[in-house]
Structure 1
Amino acid sequence: MTRTLEWIETVTMAELERNPYPVYERLRAEAPVAYVPVLDAFVASTREACHAVATSDDFEAIITPAGGRTFGHPAIIGVNGAVHDDLRSMVEPALQPSEVDRWIDGLVRPIARRYVEAIEAGGSADIVAQYCEPVSVRALGDLLGLASVSSDKLREWFHKLSVSFTNAEVDTNGEFTNQERFAAGDAAKAEIRAIVDPLIDHWVSHPDDSAISHWLHDGMPEGQTRDREYIYPTLYVFLLGAMQEPGHAMASTIAGLFTQPDQLEAVIDEPSLLPRAISEGMRWTSPIWSATARIARRDTTVAGVEVREGAVVILSYGSANHDTGTYDAPTEFDVTRPPVPHLAFGAGNHACAGIYFANQVCRIGLEELFETIPNLERDTNSEVEFWGWGFRGPTALQVKWEV
């Protein structure tokens, strides 16, 4: 039986969501794999431990209890074997780099231009709410086939689903302590069903090139489609993780560049540096910070810690990306650091299917922003506040520029 360090027993969900870094810095130093009572699960916090668990045959994917309560089953992030293979075969074709390259510019650039033109004359903006998030949700929404759903509604959905999915705090009996957060997710899902069900009715008999239409039809025998109840959990995954990741990655990259004015100037002057800046932004503040888990298939040992069969291990990729064993001065944003791969998109056979798509949305979004407003600067009258443990990014980022 692994003993829990006394200080870990006092960790609260509130401090993890407000600022998880001090807790995870201590975990990496003292207990790279540790049982955290407030989460009722083990947590892997170092890069080595996260990668080992994510790629080991001793573990398989499982969705966290709060995630299962939010998404239902079978969600692509929490299944294995034939079901996982089928769901990956359902979503991956449209996300292959060669396929994305075919349409990504025509999809994202007009969206980005529309939103940057909407703020250009104002001289100031909350760049998260008025640009990064709208560009992100609109790009994925249009790809999925949800062009009729407003960007504000898509943003509302992913915020509500996030509140529900990250409602991880449990009491000593393993019961959730805050049911209101699940109510927010339930309300979002009810709205999603009311809008998407009629669209599915149409796509069943009139398929088109939207992603959800392909999910229904691709790989199925002639005249058959996948059942909507089968695809909804994965749609909820996309409406949360895939919706928020590019937007929050853009916002974190901008916030990081603001801490390094010379690097900001270099990136604006030379857009070819943007992919490197985006990669550093995702490492510095991972949008999916600690939202995936694995379950031990047998008794095993990770980082010297005994993990029993059936134990759940949460993979903290945000912590792994601040591991001093891998990165020098990891709390600093630095575009010039050696290009060591990060874990913001996970690892193993459950690594994010949309890696290339997300990076291209970020690249095009920041290209348009910096080309149109090259004198962008942070409004120092407002603090930059980050929030979140499962998903993390700036809650707001006030910027200004000379018009």
Structure 2
Amino acid sequence: MTTMSENTTTPDLSWIDDITMTELERNPYKAYERLRAEAPLAYVPVLGSYVASTAEICREIATSPDFEAVITPAGGRTFGHPAIIGVNGDVHADLRGMVEPALQPVEVDRYVDDLVRPIARRYLEQFEDDGRAELVSQYCEPVSVRSLGDLLGLRDVESDTLRDWFAKLSRSFTNAAMTENGEFANPAGFDEGDQAKAEIQAAVDPLIDKWIVEPDGSAISRWLHDGMPPGQTRERSYIYPTIYVYLLGAMQEPGHGMASTLVGLFGEPDQMEQVVDDPALIPRAISEGMRWTSPIWSATARISTGPVTVAGVDLPGGTPVILSYGAANHDSDVYAAPTRFDLHRPPLPHLAFGAGNHACAGIYYANHVMRIALEELFETIPVLERDTSAESEFWGWGFRGPTSLNVTWEV
């Protein structure tokens, strides 16, 4: 038996028991910085799960054959089964095969400019002569949800309705606080997610009825038909959980990614000037923005398929682990001065889009939505200034981004 030396002490980790959901939603970085230093794979009672907080451990678990995907309890309660982010094997292969054709680079290159650029210009026309705007609600989120909504086939659903749906689903998905008995601490926190799902079904069911008999090129229509025997379609109950995933994560990520990138650039005026002067730097700025504040901050999980040891921690089979990619992207062992937005840092890979066979299917699409939207913004209003009289607060632990970004310019 190995014994500890007299000079070795077990760290006191009782502070982990005091972590609250309010703390995580307002600013998870402080708690996760301490987790990375003292307990990079630790059980966090308020989440009812182990949490991985370093880049090395997140990547190891995400790519390990000893783990498979699992949806968090709050995520499962919100989306239902089978949501693409929480299934494995043949079901996962079928769902990925269902969504990926429209997201392949060669296909995205075919349609993305014609899809996104007119949408971006339309929203800019609404405020470019005003001299001020709140960019999250007036530009970043609307361009993001409208682009994906049109791609999915939801052209008749108002952008504000799409924004409302993803906000309600986000709050439901991250209603993750658990009691000591393993029950949800706030069951009523799922009510607005249920309301959003009812509204989604009311809007989408008639479209599905039509697409079953009259398929078109929209994504959901293709999900119904592609890969199915002639005369058959996938059941709507089978694809609805993945529709909810898209209406939350896929709609949220580009909007909040570009908003975070803008906040980061405003904090580094020289870098903002460089990007405005040279649009070829926009993709690099977006990559840094996604690392700096990852939109999908800590929303995915894995479960051990058998007993396994990770980072010196013995995990029994069936142990869920939440992968905190937002914390991993601030790992000081990987990134120098990780809390600083730095357009010119060495181009190291980040985990904002996940890793392994459950990495985000829309990486290429999302990056191009953000690129086009920022190109149009800087071309139309190249002299943006941050309105320092209004704070730009970030919110969220599972999904994170600025709640507002007020700007001004000369007209």
For 1:379 and 1:207, locate their aligned partners in 2 and report how far apart those are by CA, in whole Å. Answer: 47
Retained in 2: the 8 A contact 1:384–1:394?
A: yes
Q: CA-to-partner distance for each residue in 1:58-80, whole Å, 9 max, x for gaps? A: 10000000000000000000000
Q: Give the corresponding residue for 1:190.
A: 198
The equivalent position to 2:312 in structure 1, one of 294, 304, 310, is 304
Maintained 8 Å contact 1:124/1:401: yes
Q: Structure 1 residue 52: deviation in Å?
A: 0.3
AA of the residue aligned to 1:5: L
Within-5 A mapping of 1:65-80: 65-80=73-88
1:235 to 219, 237, 243: 243
Aligned equivalents of 1:109, 1:41: Cα separation in 2: 42
Q: Residue 40 of structure 1 aligns to which amino acid in structure 2? A: G
Q: Tell me what 1:11 maps to.
A: 19
Structure 1 unaligned residues grouped into runs of 5+:
none
- The answer to whether the Cα contact below 8 Å between 2:296 and 2:325 also exists between their aligned partners in 1 is yes
In the other structure, the counterpart of 1:150 is: 158
Looking at structure 1, the residues matched to 110 and 132 of structure 2 have their Cα atoms a distance apart, in angstroms, of 34
Checking the alignment, whether the CA contact within 8 Å between 1:268 and 1:374 is kept in structure 2 is yes
TM-superposed CA distance for 1:179, in Å, is 2.1
Deviation of 1:4 after TM superposition, in Å, equals: 8.4
CA distance in 1, matches of 2:371, 2:392: 22
2-structure distance, mates of 1:203, 1:57: 38
Aligned to 2:379: 371
Task: Give the superposition deviation at 1:138.
Answer: 0.1
Compute the displacement of 1:174 (Å): 1.1
* 1:384 equivalent in structure 2: 392
2:29 paired residue among 21, 32, 52: 21
1:107 correspondence with 2:101: no
Q: 1:134 aligns with which of 132, 135, 142?
A: 142
Kindly state the Cα deviation for residue 375 of structure 1 after the two structures are TM-superposed.
0.4
Q: Distance in 2 between matches of 1:4 and 1:15?
A: 20
Q: How does 1:2-401 map to 2 (within 5 A)?
A: 5-401=13-409
Name the CA distance, whole Å, in 2 between partners of 1:348 and 1:104. 25
Q: CA deviation at 1:180?
A: 2.5
SS at match of 1:294: strand
- Bigger mean CA offset, 319-328 vs 177-186: 177-186
- Counterpart AA for 2:116: V
State the Cα deviation string for residues 299-335 of structure 1 (Å, max 9, x = none): 1111111111111100000000000000000000000
Q: SS state of the match for residue 126, structure 2?
A: helix
Q: State TM-score, norm by structure 2.
A: 0.97
Any conservation in 1 of the 2:257–2:294 contact (CA below 8 Å)? yes
- The code of the aligned residue for 1:239 comes to L
Please give the secondary structure, in 2, of the residue aligned with 1:289: coil
* 1:245-277 deviation per Cα after TM superposition (whole angstroms, max 9, x unaligned): 000000000000001000000000000000000
Q: Which amino acid aligns with 2:382?
A: P
Cα displacement (A) at 1:3: 10
Cα drift, residue 232 of structure 1: 0.1
Q: Identity over aligned residues, as a percent?
A: 73
AA at the equivalent of 2:356 = G
2:4 aligns to what?
A: none
Look up the SS of the partner of 2:127 in the other structure.
helix
Amino acid aligned to 1:294 = R
CA change 1:167–1:156 in 2 (3 A) is same
Q: In 2, distance between residues paired with 1:232 and 1:348?
A: 24
- Aligned equivalents of 1:346, 1:390: Cα separation in 2: 13
Contact 1:4–1:35 (8 Å) recurs in 2: no
Deviations 1:55-101 (A, max 9, x none): 00110000000000000000000000000000000000000000000
Partner amino acid, structure 1, of 2:176: A
For the residues of structure 2 that align with 1:226 and 1:84, how far apart are their CA atoms?
14
**Cα root mean square deviation, aligned:** 1.0
Contact preservation (8 Å) 2:169, 2:248: yes
CA contact (8 A) 1:4 1:34 kept: no
In 2, distance between residues paired with 1:4 and 1:307? 20
- Structure 1 residue matching 2:402: 3-state secondary structure: strand
The residue type equivalent to 2:399 in the other structure is F
Work out whether residues 11 and 38 of structure 2, in 8 Å CA contact, stay in contact via their aligned partners in 1. Answer: no
1:331-354: per-residue Cα shift (whole Å, max 9, x none)? 000000000010000000000000
Equivalent-residue separation in structure 1 for 2:337 and 2:268 (angstroms): 14
Tell me the distance in 2 between the aligned counterparts of 1:359 and 1:343.
14
Change (3 A) 1:3 1:305: farther
